A = this chain, B = another copy of it.
Amino acid sequence: MVARIGSLDTCEVRMVDPERVEAVRASMPPDGDIADLADIFGLLGDPGRLRLLTSLLEAGELCVCDLAASTGLNESSVSHALRLLRAHRVVQVRRAGRMSYYRLADSHVRLLLDLGLQHTGHTIALHVEDHREQ
């Protein structure tokens, strides 16, 4: 009644519908892609970073201290968070003297963020192009 297939060597896996399971496994993205996507979602899964990115989505570009003021985080936390986001190419820096101005760098993440915010009832106009350059 239940099919059994040795997936590797030791571990046996029970299946009810092997055909469908095989179809699902065939369409599953490779581990690397899954890991990358999980990283992106994980970055969006923290309230502090979410506030940071929402601020950037709204303002277009902000310096660290204004980001701290906008989000309520202290500047050290902001800096740590921005480093993470920078390492994953989610935000981009523009240095101007002592100041660092951050903006969203990834249009895909911007779409995810905007779509997510729509769920909360906050419909924010999409800023497809960089704007509000000063």
Contact = CB atoms under 8 A, between A and B. Distances in A.
A57 B29 CA distance: 13
A34 B122 CA distance: 11
A44 interface: yes
Given A33-B121, A38-B46, A13 B69 contact: yes
A62 B20 contact: yes
A14 B121 contact: no
Interface in A36-64: 36-47, 50-51, 54-55, 58-59, 62-63
Interface residues of A, number: 61
A130 interface: no
Contact of A51 (B17, B28, B43, B99): B28
Interface of A: 2, 5, 7, 13-18, 20-21, 23-25, 27-29, 31, 33-47, 50-51, 54-55, 58-59, 62-63, 65-66, 68-72, 99, 108, 111-112, 115-122, 124
Given A7-B72, A24-B55, A37-B116, 7 more contacts: A20-B62, A21-B69, A28-B71, A29-B122, A34-B51, A38-B47, A41-B44
